[in-house]
Amino acid sequence: MDVSRRQFLSIGSAGVLGGSALGFDLTESVRIKQRLRIEGATLSHSLCPYCAVGCSLIAHTKKAANGKTELLHIEGDPDSPVNEGTLCPKGATSLQLAVSRRRVPHPLYRAPGAAEWKQVSWEFALDRLARNIKASRDATFVAQDADGNVVNRCEGVAFAGGAAFSSEEGYLATKLMRGLGLVHLEQQARV
Amino acid sequence: MFARDRARAAELRERYPHAAEVFGLYLALVEAWESVGDRVPSDGAVEWAHVHVLPRVIEATAAHGPPLLAAAVRIAVGNGLLAPDARAGPPAAAKGPLGTAAGSGGGPLGTARRSAGGLLDAWLAGEELPPVERYLARATMRVVPLATPPDHEAAGAGPVRSDPRREPGRCPACGGAPQLSYRTAGDDPLVSGRRMLHCARCAHEWSFSATTCPQCGETGKRTVHAEAAEESPRGQPRVGRGSAADDALFPHLRAESCETCRGYLIDVDLGRDPRAVPHVDELAAIPIDLHMADHGYTKITPNLMGF
Ligand code: SF4
């Protein structure tokens, strides 16, 4: 092959043949590049919300066409001194906390004695919940204990906080339940 | 010593026809490296490599390199610019095609090398070299252990070790830039392997933060670019460590970029392909490299083949 000094220099500095600095034929690579569907995902640090171990996560997200941020994948953070890249099965599936095709999007109600669930409105569900809580509270409310001390407590209802509660949600739930007189409050996040 | 490299390069040459030329040359280089075996002396290794390895690299390149590169190397040899004794300085009139002609003294390529140094010393000193020079130097020095670079320090260029606190992504052994990153494989799919960096200068490997840019130290704004699964219902990229799409061309390769400095590295996931040899597999990622260049990213260090 006859290579002029000019060609030679072009290999040595700027590159030739569509960008290969050493003169490799890129025709096929360019064709593949055009066919490949390469997508970018942003990496962010997060924490598993499920328990007090507090494993570090790396979350992969992407801006969707509608402008919303989509969560694509979650993996353990190998840099974390807490979990060193490991996740328990709960943490490894924490993606489903945000994205799950099996999530039920409407309230469902199964009436006493009924075999089937039926879809109801949020208004119906919230109203029903409030009435049942009030009925249970009223039925089991203790104003004074056996020694006559004023205690004003509800012994017939217990509350279990969700593992994925944020601090604010935990505060709100505690405030509300204490307001109702509940004494049996539990928080799964310290299991 | 290079058995794994050889087997993997041969396998990838079949699997990736777009990179057949690259792996063909790589296999020829492996032959050259193996031919010197473990004869590399502990003292004066750079001088020795210049005399014993560079000619074999030139030979392999002339016979198996892409036509323009092979021709370029043949011209340089014809002009006596790559002769073993040229390290001491070629005739003053000789000006090589692989570099600039400024300065005095000359070197193996008839360029402006310092009289005490040459192509290999320039590369060791971290000088910015044109691609062909860089290729020849890297291919030659592949067999020379550089974790402690005695020749370089003896040459008066000073130590090349970096301070990892100031340059977090630099090789802790020789101060070189990272060539690629890879994720170690684990037996358990619930465990994310550590991120390792592979040095472009001395092939040393070290553990590095999975979410920090090895070039500028940015700890946020990291992006991974991966092949999206065609059949994914939501068109999501398969960027994690779960199983890749069956039809993925590069199931274990992805690019990791920094949005602050716009630098990137190819990342090899051994969790997805435990048989991968990161520095060999990285050579197959040419379409991903082209994609990244299209989107304004620059690889932190071009690989041996200039991509
Ligand atoms: S639930 Fe599992 S992954 Fe989450 S913090 Fe606890 S141990 Fe870690």
Q: SS3 sequence, B240-253?
A: CCCCCCCCCCCCCE
Nearest to A31 by CA among B227, B287, B24: B287
H-assigned helices in B67-184: 67-78, 119-124, 131-141, 150-152
pLDDT at B22: 97
A77, A118: one domain: no
Q: Least CA distance to B234: which residue of chain A?
A: A72
B230 touches chain A (CB under 8 A): yes
B68 touches chain A (CB under 8 A): yes
pLDDT at B238: 52
Cβ–Cβ below 8 Å for A79 and B209: yes
Q: Which helix (H) or strand (E) holds B207?
A: strand B205-207
Q: Please report, for residues A111, A126, A131, the alpha-carbon distance to residue A120 in angstroms, rounded to integers and kept in the order given.
A: 11, 10, 16
pLDDT at A73: 87
| B167-299 CATH | 3.90.1670.10
Q: Tens digits of per-residue pLDDT, B97-142?
A: 443 333 333 333 333 333 234 788 888 888 888 888 899 999 999 9
A133, A146: one domain: no
The structure tokens listed for B115 are 């009289």
The CA distance from B73 to the nearest CA of chain A, in Å, is: 9
What predicted TM-score, i.e. pTM, was given to this entire model? 0.78
Domain boundaries, chain B: 2-85+115-141, 167-299
Q: Tens digits of per-residue pLDDT, B280-298?
A: 999 999 999 999 999 999 9
Is residue B223 within 8 Å of residue B254, measured between CB atoms?
A: no
Q: Confidence band (pLDDT; 50, 70, 90) for B242?
A: low
CB atoms within 10 A of CB B253: 26
pLDDT at A15: 43
Q: Confidence band (pLDDT; 50, 70, 90) for B163?
A: low
For A173, the domain range is 140-190
pLDDT at A148: 96
Distance CA B44, CA A183 (A): 79
- Residue by residue, DSSP assigns chain A as ----HHHHHHHHTT-BTTTBTT----HHHHHHHHH--EEEEEEEEEE--SSTT--EEEEEEEE-TTSPEEEEEEEE-TT-TTTTTB--HHHHTTHHHH--TT---S-EE--TT-SS-EE--HHHHHHHHHHHHHHHHHHHEEEE-TTS-EEEEEEEEEEEE-TT--HHHHHHHHHHHHHHTEEEEEEGGG-
Distance CA A61, CA A72 (A): 5
Cβ–Cβ below 8 Å for A85 and B222: no
Kindly state the average pLDDT of the residues A145-166: 91
Cα(A88) to ligand 1 centroid in Å equals 6
Question: Which of A31, A60, A77 lies closest to B224 in CB terms?
Answer: A60
pLDDT at B60: 96
A93, A73: one domain: yes
- Higher pLDDT residue, B26 or B144? B26
Kindly state the average pLDDT of the residues B250-276: 94
Q: B257 has which bridge partners?
A: B223, B264
pLDDT at B137: 92
- Higher pLDDT residue, B40 or B161? B40
A116, A165: one domain: no
Is residue A32 within 8 Å of residue B289, measured between CB atoms?
A: no
pLDDT at B39: 80
Query: In chain A, what residues touch B243 (CB-CB under 8 Å)?
Result: none
Query: In chain A, what residues touch B97 (CB-CB under 8 Å)?
Result: 5, 8-9, 12
Kindly state the average pLDDT of the residues A1-22: 50
Kindly state the average pLDDT of the residues A95-120: 92
Mean pLDDT of chain B: 80
Cα(B212) to ligand 1 centroid in Å equals 24
B79 touches chain A (CB under 8 A): no
Kindly state the average pLDDT of the residues B155-159: 43
- Higher pLDDT residue, B45 or A89? A89
Residue of B12, B15, B16, B18 to mutate, testing the A interface (most A Cβ within 10 Å of its Cβ): B18
Kindly state the average pLDDT of the residues B20-47: 89
Q: State the total domains in chain A.
A: 3
The structure tokens listed for B239 are 């960027």
Q: Tens digits of per-residue pLDDT, B50-106?
A: 888 999 999 999 999 999 999 988 887 877 666 655 544 444 333 344 433 333 333
- Higher pLDDT residue, A124 or B118? A124
CATH of the domain at A78: 2.20.25.90
Cβ–Cβ below 8 Å for B68 and A23: yes
Is residue B67 within 8 Å of residue B78, measured between CB atoms?
A: no
Residue of A1, A2, A3, A24 to mutate, testing the B interface (most B Cβ within 10 Å of its Cβ): A24
Q: Tens digits of per-residue pLDDT, A19-68?
A: 588 999 999 999 999 998 888 999 999 999 888 888 999 999 998 889 99
Q: CB of A75 closer than 6 A to ligand 1?
A: no
Cβ–Cβ below 8 Å for A79 and B19: no
Tell me which residue has its CA closest to atom 2 in ligand 1. Answer: A88
A144, A81: one domain: no
Contacts of A4 (CB under 8 A, 6+ apart): none
What share of chain B in percent tops pLDDT 70?
Answer: 75
Cα(A90) to ligand 1 centroid in Å equals 6
Start-to-end CA span in chain B (Å):
25
Residue B37 has pLDDT above 70, yes or no: yes
Q: CB of A183 closer than 6 A to ligand 1?
A: no
Cβ–Cβ below 8 Å for A20 and B66: yes
Q: CB of A133 closer than 6 A to ligand 1?
A: no
pLDDT at B241: 54
pLDDT at B203: 87
Query: In chain A, what residues touch B77 (CB-CB under 8 Å)?
Result: none
pLDDT at A33: 94
Residue of A39, A57, A60, A63 to mutate, testing the B interface (most B Cβ within 10 Å of its Cβ): A39
